Amino acid sequence: MSYRYLALVDINRRWDVANLPEIEAALQIDGMREPLTSGSIRLFLSKETPCLSLPEGGLAIGHLFSRKPSPLDATAQFPAFSSHKRLRKHIMENFWGEYVLVQPCDEGDAGAVITRDPSGGVPCVYSLRNGAGFVTSGISMATRLDLYRKRIDWDFIAHCLTYPNLKTSRTGLVDIRELLPGSSLVVGRTELTTDLNWSPWSFVAPGHRHTNLADAAADIRTTVASVVRTWADFDESILMELSGGLDSSIVAACLKNTRPRVTCYNLATPVPGADERQYARQMASYLGVELQTEQLDLDIACCDVAPFPDAVSPRMGILQYAVSNAMETAARRYGASSSYMGAGGDTVFGLLTNAVPAADAISERGMVTGISSIRDLSVLHQCTMWKAAKLTARKMMRAPKAACAPDRTFMNPSIAIGPAESHPWLDAPTDVLLGDRERIFDLASNQLFRDIVYRGENCWIRMPLLSQPVVEACLKVPSWMSITGGQNRAVARAAFADVLPQNILNRRSKGSFISYLGAIFKRNKSQIHEILLSGALHDQHLLDSDALTRFFNAELPPRDKSFTRILFLFAVENWLRHQA
């Protein structure tokens, strides 16, 4: 199930949309209600999309929870505020959830303000010009109502090929923008502006940091458990997607003794590398249920992979497609109303694979803590302390890691590509620690999870580890604390040490789908080659045809992962093929 809404906007109140009566009739037939009608906004919601009235004519679309133990309900009262901006600030600081706020501008300013929560749980794309247009959860709704006709933004496609892990407000469609999480869109008569309401940098600033592991672990334990249980109070039946790793196991542990019926589900592959059933089975046993499993199919024709209907950018690849299909089928089979997963846990819990934690320890706490962290680093990476110290010194002396490195592999070398576009979370303070810098850059990339996970129209998607309270609690943990004892994500492990099975708590390895993807690639190699050399990317001269042909004609060396870049190019090509 998904949040579905459409807001028609006309700040000048002319309402000269040619087919407005037909739009209204079509929305009514589709079961959409109209909870907000003002002079400049007409907002339509599906019946299953929750909403909450705000003071002075505003509305919150989605789920809004109080930071206090009990969730906010429709009868709760907000304090009186002198402006809508103060109310937004109050909501950001005292509530959390998955929501989009729709508010009028403050007195004296004609216009509207649209605000998206920091987790990005409710989609928000828009097309607005001269104060008129639409804001919606799904572009398919706008195209179906003839509010928009799709056109490809080829400059964005070139940028996306070059910076595949960067999320920006631009999309692959002309005149369609996305409101990024934690931001507000101010719609005026003649201009659009965006404001940043929530920034991760605030929570790594001095004064917010945890100073010892016990307090940090207690905060994470309380916060994650509270978030998971709050969501569970809203769900009737849950499909818990257990990968067997630490992150999904933590989410599963928090579902113990909750009200909904929980089905634990694990996906394996017919090739080695991703069989995590022995770990997932232990977590299912902890919840008192049997583990349900399924094996992903190798007989997937890449040309049949269809992005979900509201995808405004080319993000879903063959693996996400296979997993989404399997999980959607499982949700129907077991009658699950919601699908829970540990998405984003690596970044949120502070998994850093280089020497920056030890560098941060020296910068923040001095040499005593620094030497201890270098020892932890050597244990973590199973190297000598001398090598760990050398790597730490190198990190401290070199320039900070770039926010987003370009990748032009298999792209036409004559195509000029500019620098990476901005994302508000990538604007790092000059004095920030290296580990915090890398964690927050990765957090910005984590926003892509919302673009690649699809479970059908009848199942809510729950990503508790990306919720605002969990992210804030984890950002307060210094990076060097997360490698304590030579374990990655050490604070998260300590937080749930009493409920996780020992071989999950202490495991260092992690399952991988790379062999599965390699097998899919080999089976579809000729077809992928043919489509890439005859498709839209080739027609737009974005690909290096000679380099592609050399790659496809060569034998892939063992353990070579370069084919994943080919699969990404194909995912982009595949999205383009479905935009007609």
Q: Which of 428, 483, 170, 450 minimizes the C-alpha distance to 310? A: 450
Residues 140 and 236 in one domain: no
Residues 191 and 206 in one domain: no
Per residue in 474-532, pLDDT (tens digit) is 999 999 999 999 999 999 999 999 999 999 999 887 888 999 999 999 999 999 999 99
Residues 395 and 258 in one domain: yes
Residues 233 and 104 in one domain: no
Q: Which of 519, 574, 463 minimizes the C-alpha distance to 120? A: 463
Residues 564 and 439 in one domain: no
Per residue in 319-333, pLDDT (tens digit) is 999 999 999 999 999
Q: What is the pLDDT of residue 229?
A: 96
Residues 478 and 551 in one domain: no
Q: What is the pLDDT of residue 403?
A: 84
Last residue of a domain, one of 510, 544, 565: 510
Q: Which of 307, 320, 387, 311 minimizes the C-alpha distance to 355? A: 387
Helix, strand, or coil (residue 194)? strand
Residues 455 and 539 in one domain: no
Q: What is the pLDDT of residue 557?
A: 82
Q: What is the pLDDT of residue 74?
A: 42
Residues 443 and 530 in one domain: no
Q: What is the pLDDT of residue 312?
A: 97
- Write out the residue range of the structural domain in which residue 550 sits: 514-577
Last residue of a domain, one of 198, 233, 264: 198
Q: What is the pLDDT of residue 347?
A: 96
The total number of structural domains in the chain stands at 3
Q: What is the pLDDT of residue 213?
A: 96
Report d(CA 45, CA 217) in Å as an integer: 40
Which residues of the chain fall below pLDDT 50? Answer: 73-75
Helix, strand, or coil (residue 160)? helix
Q: What is the pLDDT of residue 70?
A: 54
Task: Report the CATH number at residue 305.
Answer: 3.40.50.620
Last residue of a domain, one of 510, 535, 555: 510
Quick count: other Cβ atoms within 10 Å of Cβ 531?
20
Residues 176 and 206 in one domain: no
DSSP annotation string for 233-270: TT-SEEEEE--SSHHHHHHHHTTTT-SSEEEEEEEE-S
Per residue in 237-273, pLDDT (tens digit) is 999 999 999 999 999 999 999 999 999 999 998 888 7
Three-state SS letters, 66-90: ECCCCCCCCCCCCCCCCCHHHHHHH
Quick count: other Cβ atoms within 10 Å of Cβ 411?
20
Residues 58 and 72 in one domain: yes
Contacts of 364 (CB under 8 A, 6+ apart): 209, 433, 478, 480
Per residue in 198-235, pLDDT (tens digit) is 999 999 998 889 999 999 999 999 999 999 999 999 99
Residues 347 and 464 in one domain: yes
Residues 32 and 50 in one domain: yes
DSSP annotation string for 365-411: H-HHHHHHHHHHHHHHHT--HHHHHHHHHHHHHSPPPPSS----TTB
Task: Report the CATH number at residue 110.
Answer: 3.60.20.10
Q: Cβ distance 280 to 243 under 8 Å? A: yes
Q: Which of 70, 3, 91, 46 minimizes the C-alpha distance to 450? A: 3
Q: What is the pLDDT of residue 37?
A: 72
